[in-house]
Amino acid sequence: MITTIGDMQAARVVDGALVRAAEQRDLDVIHGLHVEAVLHSTAIWRDDPFPRLWFDTWLVDRAAGGFPVLVAEFDGVVAGYVTYGPWRENPGYRFSVEDSIYLDPRFHGRGIGSTLLRAAIEHAIDAGHHVMIADIASDNTASIRLHERLGFEHVTVVPEVGRKFDRWLDLVIMRLPLV
């Protein structure tokens, strides 16, 4: 079942997970996933997480820019979120977007990541974007496999372009044509 509010996909039930637009009440969970990713993984190449209050503005800015933040709710618990936004800031890149997806580890392996990413892809297609990019740390094999399953193709690997946890990180760049 899919319901819509304007052009935003509001809710979809897939395999027991409710995918819906994120709301203010979801920001504590989203912030918690962000903190976990920053402190314990190479998924986000930052040393310090954004403060919780930063996400209030982030959610408003995403909506104002026409970029969704979607959550997957499973048995009443937010299991993860997906969003996409500009890949690069210069106007020539305006039809290219980059996705970001984060799941609570308790929900890995249930297909929720695929469900969320498909919803973001559908939104990007409906919004008229041309290509979706995934920039992924090469050691994040689960994210690479997720993107491969949904049709993203490998573009390149940029060696030692980032640094975190006192080691150099390689960046895998993947793309999905949306037209």
- CB 3 within 8 Å of CB 57: no
100 pLDDT band (50/70/90 cuts)?
very high
Is pLDDT of 101 > 50? yes
Residue 6 has pLDDT above 80, yes or no: no
Mean pLDDT of the region 136-162: 98
Query: How crowded is residue 137: how many other Cβ atoms within 10 Å of its Cβ?
Result: 20
Task: Compute the CA torsion angle 61, 63, 69, 70 (nearest 10 deg).
Answer: 160
| Structure confidence by residue, pLDDT tens digits, 126-143 | 999 999 999 999 999 999
For residue 110, is pLDDT > 80?
yes
As a whole number, mean pLDDT of residues 22-37 equals 98
**For tokens 């150099």, what's the residue?**
168
